């Protein structure tokens, strides 16, 4: 790929950050930004149309999830590398993104040199984590599967709580009221739950939840 520009698509719902990232990447020798998107559907359409080497993906896309966008892009074009660049530094987001197929994960405070290095690594098929994210991953792995005795241990406590209520028949609005969360937060958690359980929709998630003993009244 040395003589061919690394083709990039930038996905972020914040115009200022998207424009800034596009300007930064466009200024780097050997990089070419071929598209931008601000939501899940546009991100998938742009990636399939332009077939970039790397998609620089925010994980929080307004009412949508970059994790969902990552999964859909890779279903259509498995050869594309996805680099998550986001404010979300919790373990759940990191591992949900990697499970969805992202090859890299950086925080938005990363230095330009770190972003360039990560883009080049992902473009060449490598997996790369920012320094802080890598430290979290090592700590998570060193701690071991402490939740292995719980139903659906791949889910966090909050995700199991939300899935339990959904399995009881509550809609997103009712879940958000019950747990004092915003509807957007509930939607984002559900997107992560679908990714972790490898289910396509709410009904399949409910089946998995009930099989695992969640959603029982009383």
Q: Report the domain count for the chain.
A: 2
Q: Give per-residue pLDDT as tens, 75-118.
A: 999 999 999 998 876 666 777 888 888 999 998 888 999 999 99
Q: Give per-residue pLDDT as tens, 9-60.
A: 999 999 999 999 999 999 999 999 999 999 999 999 999 999 999 999 998 8
User: Under 8 Å CB-to-CB from 211, ≥6 apart: which residues?
Assistant: none
Domain extent, residue 83, equals 6-140
Q: Indicate the average pLDDT of the chain.
A: 87
CATH code for the domain of 175: 1.10.10.10
50 & 25 share domain: yes
The predicted model scores a pTM of: 0.65
| Residue 216: per-residue pLDDT | 77
Q: Report the distance separating Cα 196 and Cα 138, nearest Å.
A: 20
33 & 101 share domain: yes
29 domain residue, yes or no: yes
44 & 136 share domain: yes
68 & 34 share domain: yes
107 & 11 share domain: yes
Q: Which of 112, 140, 168 is the last residue of a domain?
A: 140
Question: Look-up: residue for tokens 């747990």?
Answer: 179
Structure tokens at 31: 């990089």
1 domain residue, yes or no: no
Stretch 134-142: mean pLDDT: 61
CB atoms within 10 A of CB 108: 15
Is the predicted pLDDT of residue 139 greater than 80, yes or no?
Answer: no
Q: Report the distance separating Cα 37 and Cα 210, nearest Å.
A: 37
- 8 Å CB contact between 138 and 116: no
Q: Report the distance separating Cα 15 and Cα 183, nearest Å.
A: 23
With cut-offs at 50, 70 and 90, classify the pLDDT of residue 194: very high
Q: Which of 82, 111, 140 is the last residue of a domain?
A: 140
| Residue 217: per-residue pLDDT | 62
46 domain residue, yes or no: yes
83 & 34 share domain: yes
CATH code for the domain of 76: 3.40.50.2300
Is the predicted pLDDT of residue 176 greater than 80, yes or no?
Answer: yes
Q: Give per-residue pLDDT as tens, 200-211.
A: 899 999 999 988
């Amino acid at each position: 790929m040395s003589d061919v520009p690394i083709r990039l698509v930038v996905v972020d719902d914040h115009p200022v950050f998207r424009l800034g990232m596009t300007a930064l990447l466009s200024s780097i020798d050997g990089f070419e930004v071929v598209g931008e998107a601000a939501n899940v559907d546009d991100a998938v359409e742009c990636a399939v149309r332009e077939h970039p080497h790397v998609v620089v993906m925010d994980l929080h896309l307004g009412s949508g999830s970059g994790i969902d966008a990552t999964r859909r892009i890779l279903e259509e074009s498995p050869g594309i590398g996805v680099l998550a660049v986001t404010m979300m530094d919790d373990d759940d987001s990191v591992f949900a993104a990697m499970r969805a197929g992202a090859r890299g994960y950086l925080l938005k405070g990363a230095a330009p040199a770190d972003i360039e290095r990560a883009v080049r690594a992902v473009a060449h098929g490598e997996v790369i984590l920012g320094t802080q994210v890598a430290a979290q991953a090592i700590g998570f792995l060193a701690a071991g599967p402490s939740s292995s005795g719980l139903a659906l241990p791949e889910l966090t406590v909050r995700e199991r709580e939300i899935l339990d209520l959904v399995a009881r028949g509550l809609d997103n609005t009712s879940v958000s009221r019950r747990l004092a969360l915003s509807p957007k937060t509930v939607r984002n958690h559900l997107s992560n739950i679908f990714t972790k359980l490898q289910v396509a929709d709410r009904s399949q998630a409910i089946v998995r939840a009930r099989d695992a003993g969640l959603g029982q009244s009383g």
